[in-house]
Amino acid sequence: MTKPRFSIVAPAYNEEESLPEFYRHVREVMDAIGEEWELVLVNDGSTDRTGEMLRELHAQDRRVCIVDFARNFGHQIAITAGMDHARGEAVVTIDADLQDPPEVIPELIARWREGYQVVYGVRAEREGETWFKLFTARLFYRLIGSLTEIEIPMEAGDFRLLDRQVVEELRRMREHRRFIRGMTSWAGYRQIGVPYQRHARFAGETKYPLRKMLRLALDAITAFSDLPLKLAWLCGLGLLGLGVLLGLVLLGLRLAGATPLVGQGLVLSVALLLGGVQLVFLGILGEYMARIYDEVRNRPLYTVRELVGFDES
Ligand code: UDP
Ligand code: MG
């Protein structure tokens, strides 16, 4: 087997129900293109039969390669590992639950052949998502858009094609809290979006509960913006102004002979307000600090139990 021209990278965390169907779709679509391809599946510490299933797929079809994590590291890290091991000239990242239809891959490839180095899927329509997911997703893109300077395309997920040159750049970025959408956008190069219809999950349920979505949002914001840190300035200056104003008003009232409007209630609420604001900013500082600490420890991004199929070419 020569080096494949295309690599399809898909992370899988407890996807035993979707995997065989996913493989069938990918094989059909990629075989129709008529060039060498490989399917790099990253087993992200699944607790169901995903691991065995991947090995069965590999036994059937040597173009299926496996990166088997030693535990669950999360979606973004799994994609990263897939890109680290992919050998193609163009690398497509796609979810293994068939929400991103493999049938769109030829379109991405067509754009790549036109010379675009990043071709990302834009979800024109999303089926089978709860209003809550749609609402929080929209809020998320808005927030990222207004907080950061890099342009992260609205409604673009992690379904995209990357040229080898871009993959190599991304591979040099070893940050631990990864927001790959942002990193790809940050990298630059010729980018273009391709609209597609996002289906409902083929089977199973989302592996992205609210907790993980919030973490991704925090990682995205801290990785691409220092605005939250600077907000302390604004808030501090505002409160300072308010304090001075209040002092002046109290002084005026005292000079005019009126009883000033102080009481325990007022003092208590102001104390709570100030304490709250300070703790919030301590928390924000903490978020950034935890990330600095993460980087300083400089641990590897993931640990691999086994690599299957990569040395056979
Ligand atoms: N995934 C993963 N590790 C995780 C969570 C998810 O590898 O910790 C994979 C999952 O198997 C799927 C993709 O990432 O292929 C997207 O996850 P999911 O479909 O649950 O997210 P959603 O589409 O609901 O946002
Ligand atoms: Mg999904």
pLDDT tens string 86-96: 999 999 999 99
Alpha helices (H) in the chain, listed in sequence order: 19-33, 50-60, 75-85, 105-113, 131-147, 164-172, 180-187, 210-224, 227-255, 264-297
Residue pair 119/90 in contact by the 8 Å Cβ criterion: no
36 Cβ inside 6 Å of ligand 1: no
Say which CATH class 6-224+300-312 falls into.
alpha beta
Residues with CB under 5 A from ligand 2 (ion): 95, 97, 99
206 CA distance to ligand 2 centroid (A)? 6
Locate the ligand 1 atom nearest the alpha carbon of residue 99 and give its number. 23
- Which parts of the chain register pLDDT below 50? none
Mean predicted lDDT score pLDDT of the chain:
90
- Cβ atoms 107, 184 nearer than 8 A: no
Residues in a beta bridge with 125:
197
Distance from C-alpha of 89 to C-alpha of 105, rounded to nearest angstrom:
14
CA angle 165, 102, 20 (to 5 degrees): 115
**pLDDT for residue 1:** 57
How far does CA 271 lie from the centroid of its chain? 38
Assess contact for 144 and 156: CB atoms under 8 A: no
Residue 11 CA: nearest ligand 1 atom is 7
**Residue identifier of the C-alpha nearest atom 8 of ligand 1:** 74
Least Cα distance to 162 among 231, 256, 250, 91 occurs for 91
The pairs formed by 25-28 with CB atoms below 8 angstroms and a separation of 24 or more are: 25/98, 25/101, 25/102, 25/103, 26/102, 26/105, 27/61, 28/102
Nearest CA to ligand 1 atom 24: 206
**pTM of this prediction?**
0.85
Question: What's the CA-to-centroid distance between 252 and ligand 2, angstroms?
Answer: 63
